[in-house]
Structure 1
Amino acid sequence: MYELWTKEKEIEFFRQSLENFAEPEQLFYISDNGKYYAYWPKSYKGKKFTLQSRNALIGNFTEKYSVDLLQNFAKERNLYAVQGVICKEIGLTPQSPSDVAICKFKSREQKAEDIVAIFEVKMSIVWNWEYRNGKLICIGDYKTHQGNPGLLRSDSMLKAIGKSINIRVSGYKASKIPIIILGNTPITESYFNKVDHLKKAGIIQGFWSTNPNPLDNNGENIKSTKHKGFIRFDSIQELYNALDELLIEEMEFFSSMKSKKQLGQIIEIANREATYEQKAEKFLKLIRE
Structure 2
Amino acid sequence: MLWNEETEKHFFREALKSFASPEQLFYNLQSGYYAYIPKDFDSEGQTLQSRNSLIGQFTEKWCKQIFSPIAEEFGLYAINGVVCEEIALTKSSSADLAFCTKNTITQKAEDIKLIFEVKMSIVSNYKFEQPDAVNLIGDYKSHKGNPSLLRSDSMLKAIGKSINIRVSGSNANTIPIIILGNSPITSTYSKKVDFLKSAGVIQGFYSLNPNPTKSDFIFESPEKGFITITDVKELK
TMscore range, shorter length: over 0.9
User: Once the 2 structures are TM-superposed, how far is the Cα of residue 48 of structure 1 from its aligned partner?
Assistant: 2.9
Q: Counterparts of 2:83 and 2:43 in 1: how far apart (Å)? A: 44
1:236 aligns with 2:232: yes
Equivalent residue for 2:161? 163
2:144 pairs with one of 146, 153, 159: 146
The amino acid that maps onto 2:114 is: A
Cα-Cα RMSD: 0.8
Equivalent residue for 1:256? none
Q: Counterparts of 2:176 and 2:43 in 1: how far apart (Å)? A: 45
1:64 pairs with one of 43, 47, 61: 61
Equivalent residue for 2:14? 16
User: Once the 2 structures are TM-superposed, how far is the Cα of residue 45 of structure 1 from its aligned partner?
Assistant: 2.4
User: Once the 2 structures are TM-superposed, how far is the Cα of residue 95 of structure 1 from its aligned partner?
Assistant: 1.1
Q: Report the identity percentage.
A: 57
Contact 1:90 1:171 in 2 (8 A): yes
Q: SS at 1:143's partner residue?
A: helix
1:48 pairs with one of 45, 48, 51: 45
Q: Counterparts of 1:80 and 1:183 in 2: how far apart (Å)? A: 21
Q: Counterparts of 1:37 and 1:112 in 2: how far apart (Å)? A: 43
1:179 pairs with one of 177, 180, 187: 177
2:72 pairs with one of 57, 70, 75: 75
Considering fraction of residues, name the structure with more strand.
Answer: 2
| C-alpha distance after superposition, 1:110-153 (max 9, x if no partner) | 01001010000000000000001220110000000000000000
User: Once the 2 structures are TM-superposed, how far is the Cα of residue 11 of structure 1 from its aligned partner?
Assistant: 1.0
Equivalent residue for 1:99? 96
Equivalent residue for 2:201? 203
1:135 pairs with one of 124, 133, 136: 133
Give the TM-score of the pair, scaled to structure 1: 0.80
2:4 pairs with one of 3, 6, 12: 6
1:85 pairs with one of 82, 87, 106: 82
Q: Counterparts of 1:72 and 1:223 in 2: how far apart (Å)? A: 26
Larger Rg belongs to: 1
Contact 2:37 2:43 in 1 (8 A): no
1:31 aligns with 2:41: no
Equivalent residue for 1:118? 115
Contact 2:186 2:218 in 1 (8 A): no
Contact 1:31 1:48 in 2 (8 A): no
The amino acid that maps onto 1:48 is: G
User: Once the 2 structures are TM-superposed, how far is the Cα of residue 105 of structure 1 from its aligned partner?
Assistant: 1.1
Q: Counterparts of 1:237 and 1:46 in 2: how far apart (Å)? A: 41
Q: Counterparts of 1:36 and 1:199 in 2: how far apart (Å)? A: 40
Q: Counterparts of 1:95 and 1:223 in 2: how far apart (Å)? A: 33
Q: Counterparts of 1:20 and 1:183 in 2: how far apart (Å)? A: 25
Q: How many pairs are equivalent? A: 235
Give the TM-score of the pair, scaled to structure 2: 0.98
User: Once the 2 structures are TM-superposed, how far is the Cα of residue 36 of structure 1 from its aligned partner?
Assistant: 0.1
Q: Counterparts of 1:93 and 1:83 in 2: how far apart (Å)? A: 13
- Structure 2: which 5+ residue stretches go unaligned? none
Q: Counterparts of 1:145 and 1:5 in 2: how far apart (Å)? A: 19
User: Once the 2 structures are TM-superposed, how far is the Cα of residue 16 of structure 1 from its aligned partner?
Assistant: 1.1
Contact 1:32 1:46 in 2 (8 A): no
The amino acid that maps onto 2:231 is: S
The amino acid that maps onto 2:164 is: N
- Higher RCO (CA < 8 A, seq sep 6+): 2
Equivalent residue for 2:220? 224
Q: SS at 1:68's partner residue?
A: helix
User: Once the 2 structures are TM-superposed, how far is the Cα of residue 32 of structure 1 from its aligned partner?
Assistant: 2.2
Contact 1:123 1:184 in 2 (8 A): yes
User: Once the 2 structures are TM-superposed, how far is the Cα of residue 46 of structure 1 from its aligned partner?
Assistant: 5.3
Q: Counterparts of 1:53 and 1:228 in 2: how far apart (Å)? A: 34
The amino acid that maps onto 2:7 is: K
